[in-house]
């Protein structure tokens, strides 16, 4: 039986304008960094994507190296898109990126025009698409002139392979230069994707001000700090957690001081009538310069739970002061 999305899907989601552009994004977007590769169950991935769309999530974020193995998330997404979402392509925002290692040799990494053009061509084939809505440079390249990298993004839009372009992991100084170059080329920077959470607040030191002043959107990733800002670590490190598996989050990150912070933040969340993860996502979304927040999900139920963050995104001054006091614990 073919998939028919819920007719009321747009009534349950908030949509925010992306900077000064004409594009609006769902306040919550789904990232496919984990749980959509060839090592994962395809039916579970399909169910997550269907639930996301039924819930009003219109933005799906990928990168060339997402999997594992690298490329498999795009391939699986393309197959699901063709099977279940073919007639809804114009209701969906699809993004991908290039900038980290994708293939061997000097042309499969960083920020050269050769790499970016080749990588997007491969991504489009894997996803069975004519174009993506947003194409990002995934990280700054210290060895390639910024003019070349931004020129490649401009060319990609002019070729019709992407509607918009963005940058990710750029610090304020490099971001300002990239935004300026793209504006002069006639292809404005739509959006920046930085790492941002209660536990990683570097974007508050100039980047959010820059994006607000320049009319560029912001879509933070890792807003739950790889799971630390959830109920999972309230009582130590579970054996099945990312920290225990020593993946991107290492056991050494869960210090006694960090555990104290997690427990105190959890208390504040309960006082707000929220779980810790809901408050952590709402805290990122409280800033008007943040267009959307990227979340992941390993199963549909987890996605349903994360969407509860939209129930209460307002914070009192006292709550913000209490949160900042907790975060100041060394």
Express as a percent the part of the chain with pLDDT over 70: 94
pLDDT number for residue 66: 98
pLDDT number for residue 329: 79
Going by pLDDT thresholds of 50, 70 and 90, the confidence category of residue 301 is very high
d(CA 314, CA 266): 17
pLDDT number for residue 232: 86
175-188 per-position pLDDT tens digit? 999 999 999 999 99
pLDDT number for residue 330: 58
Q: According to the CATH classification, is domain 14-225+287-300 in 3.20.20.100?
A: yes
DSSP letters, 293-316, are: EEE--SSHHHHHHHGGGGG-----
Express as a percent the part of the chain with pLDDT over 90: 91
162-176 per-position pLDDT tens digit? 999 999 999 999 999
Going by pLDDT thresholds of 50, 70 and 90, the confidence category of residue 239 is low
Q: What are 64's two structure tokens?
A: 């060339």
d(CA 263, CA 96): 36
pLDDT number for residue 307: 98
Q: Is the pLDDT of residue 244 over 80?
A: no
29-76 per-position pLDDT tens digit? 999 999 999 999 999 999 999 999 999 999 999 999 999 999 999 999
Q: Is the pLDDT of residue 25 over 70?
A: yes
Q: What residues have CB less than 8 Å from 196, skipping those under 6 apart? A: 202, 203, 218, 220, 221, 222, 223, 284, 290
pLDDT number for residue 250: 61
In sequence order, the β-bridge partners of residue 135 are 96, 165
Q: Is the pLDDT of residue 247 over 90?
A: no
pLDDT number for residue 249: 60
Please give the mean pLDDT across all residues of the chain.
95
Rounded to an integer, the average pLDDT of 275-303 is 98
pLDDT number for residue 241: 58
87-134 per-position pLDDT tens digit? 999 999 999 999 999 999 999 999 999 999 999 999 999 999 999 999
Q: Where are the domains of the chain?
A: 14-225+287-300
* Helical residues (DSSP H) of the chain, grouped into ranges: 42-54, 72-84, 113-127, 146-158, 172-185, 207-214, 242-245, 256-271, 276-285, 300-306, 317-327
190-209 per-position pLDDT tens digit? 999 999 999 999 999 999 99
pLDDT number for residue 233: 82
């Amino acid at each position: 039986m073919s998939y028919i999305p819920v007719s009321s899907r747009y009534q349950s989601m908030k949509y925010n304008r992306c900077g000064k552009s004409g594009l609006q994004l769902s306040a919550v977007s789904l990232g496919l960094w984990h749980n959509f590769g060839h090592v994962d169950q395809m039916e579970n991935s399909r169910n997550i994507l269907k639930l996301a769309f039924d819930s009003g999530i219109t933005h799906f974020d990928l990168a060339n190296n997402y999997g594992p193995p690298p490329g498999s998330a795009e391939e699986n997404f393309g197959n699901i898109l063709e099977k279940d979402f073919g007639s809804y392509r114009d209701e969906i925002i699809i993004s991908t990126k290039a900038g980290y290692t994708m293939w061997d040799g000097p042309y499969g990494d960083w920020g050269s025009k050769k790499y970016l053009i080749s990588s997007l061509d491969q991504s489009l084939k894997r996803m069975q698409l004519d174009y993506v809505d947003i194409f990002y440079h995934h990280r700054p390249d210290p060895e390639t002139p910024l003019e070349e990298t931004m020129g490649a993004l401009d060319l990609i839009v002019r070729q019709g392979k992407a509607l918009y372009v963005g940058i990710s992991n750029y610090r304020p100084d490099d971001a300002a230069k990239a935004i300026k170059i793209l504006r002069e080329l006639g292809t404005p920077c739509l959006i920046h994707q930085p790492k941002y959470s209660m536990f990683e607040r570097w974007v508050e030191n100039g980047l959010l001000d820059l994006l607000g002043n320049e009319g560029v959107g912001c879509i933070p990733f890792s807003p739950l700090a790889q799971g630390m800002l959830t109920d999972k670590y309230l009582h130590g490190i579970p054996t099945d957690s990312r920290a225990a598996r020593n993946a991107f989050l290492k056991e050494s990150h869960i210090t006694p001081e960090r555990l104290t912070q997690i427990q105190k933040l959890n208390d504040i969340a309960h006082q707000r009538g929220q779980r810790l993860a809901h408050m952590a996502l709402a805290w990122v979304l409280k800033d008007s310069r943040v267009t959307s927040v990227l979340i992941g999900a390993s199963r549909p139920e987890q996605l349903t739970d994360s969407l509860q963050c939209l129930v209460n995104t307002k914070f009192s001054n006292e709550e913000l002061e209490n949160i900042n006091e907790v975060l100041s614990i060394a």
